[in-house]
Amino acid sequence: MKTRITELFAIQYPIIQGGMMWVGRAELASAVSNAGGLGMLTALTQPSPEALLEEIARCRSMTDKPFGVNLTILPAINSPPYAEYAQAIIDGGVKIVETAGRSPEPFMPAFKAAGIKVIHKCTSVRHAIKAEKVGCDAVSVDGFECAGHPGEDDVTNLVLLPAAYAKLTIPMVASGGIGTGSQLAAALALGAEGVNMGSRFVATQEAPVHENMKQAMVEADERQTTLMFRSLNNTCRVFSNPISQEVLSIEAKPGETDFTDLRPLVSGERGRERCIEGGDINDGIWTVGMVMGLIHDIPTCQVLIERMMSEAQATINHRLTSMMTV
């Protein structure tokens, strides 16, 4: 399949593995790239810029295909050394960066000077327009269905994608709630030129997460996520379990929510150690999207991507064409 996204990133298929904290490691990124998609390391999964350089080298030893690095830029009391992580990406010779969170504008001159293509993840049309304005090469438009942070506008992809397409000149990919070939075909019909998937790639054989988590995604349906942090205007979609329900109970109490009451429950380290690595899916917070309702197996990345492409082709060439009348 040829789109502006496949040409921009020199990939075979318009399927991108989004950056995911603790999950975007060389094993998964290389498997996606080897299967014809675009794999993505997650910079902040690595404890230091030096460790990121090592992970880039490790991924390069596992694939000769293009891969990228996600750099999520968020405000924090003790922010990571974002500039040093960005420099590690440049020094590592990576030519594709996925940015998310705050605007990548401060890093654009350095990325452009290094010949890096930048795709920015956006949850609204206005943010997509700003990303184009600051020089991003493409945008990933993230609908309300997504895992993690869907923004505060609550607009699903059925509206968000064509709304963004009408205002953009750079290519966009559809992100959030996607896991099948028919959805890829639908995204193309709505103006996207590829798709970005997170949760669907977690439920693959190569994803470096505990098998209990993968199986929970297979067994769950589209209703088994919940939205935390709405009271903090920092909405996050996560797996619905006793911990996330406890967070919601605290948020529902009268008065302003004090994040210090939530921190022990929502700690990223807790989620990584107890859920992602430990396999106790109910003793921490882990992000996942509504696409769980469409996940019914745990294939290899190769099988998943080839299946999606076959489904997309069948949807476009047969199912939709057969409905047309002369």
Domain spans of the chain? 4-209+296-323, 211-290
Report the 10 Å Cβ neighbour count for 109: 10
* φ, ψ of residue 42 in degrees (nearest 5): -110, 115
User: Could you tell me the fold of the domain covering 4-209+296-323?
Assistant: TIM Barrel (3.20.20)
Instruction: Region of 135 please: left (phi>0), alpha (psi -120 to 50) or beta.
Output: left
What is the per-residue pLDDT for 325?
A: 79
Q: CA–CA separation, 203 vs 81, rounded Å? A: 31
Average pLDDT of adjacent 10-residue blocks, the chain of 326 residues: 97 97 98 98 98 98 98 87 98 98 97 98 98 98 97 97 98 98 98 98 98 98 97 96 97 89 93 97 97 98 98 94 83
What is the per-residue pLDDT for 201?
A: 98
Q: Are 228 and 308 in contact (CB under 8 A)?
A: no
What is the per-residue pLDDT for 2?
A: 96
Three-state SS for the chain is CCCHHHHHHCCCCCEEECCCCCCCCHHHHHHHHHCCCEEEEEHHHCCCHHHHHHHHHHHHHHCCCCEEEEEEECCCCCCCCHHHHHHHHHHCCCCEEEEEECCCHHHHHHHHHCCCEEEEEECCHHHHHHHHHCCCCEEEEECCCCCECCCCCCCCHHHHHHHHHCCCCCCEEEECCCCCHHHHHHHHHCCCCCEEECHHHHCCCCCCCCHHHHHHHHHCCCCCEEEECHHHCCCEEEECCHHHHHHHHHHCCCCCCCHHHHHHHHCHHHHHHHHHHCCCCCCCCCECCHHHHHCCCCCCHHHHHHHHHHHHHHHHHHHHHHHCCC
User: Residue 137 is encoded by which pair of tokens?
Assistant: 């090469």
What is the per-residue pLDDT for 117?
A: 98
Please report, for residues 188, 227, 305, the alpha-carbon distance to residue 184 in angstroms, rounded to integers and kept in the order given: 6, 25, 11
Nearest-10 crossing angle of helices 301-314, 26-34: 40
User: Residue 64 is encoded by which pair of tokens?
Assistant: 């000769």
Chain Cα centroid distance, residue 239: 16
What is the per-residue pLDDT for 199?
A: 98
What is the per-residue pLDDT for 100?
A: 97
What is the per-residue pLDDT for 301?
A: 98
Q: CA–CA separation, 207 vs 222, rounded Å? A: 21
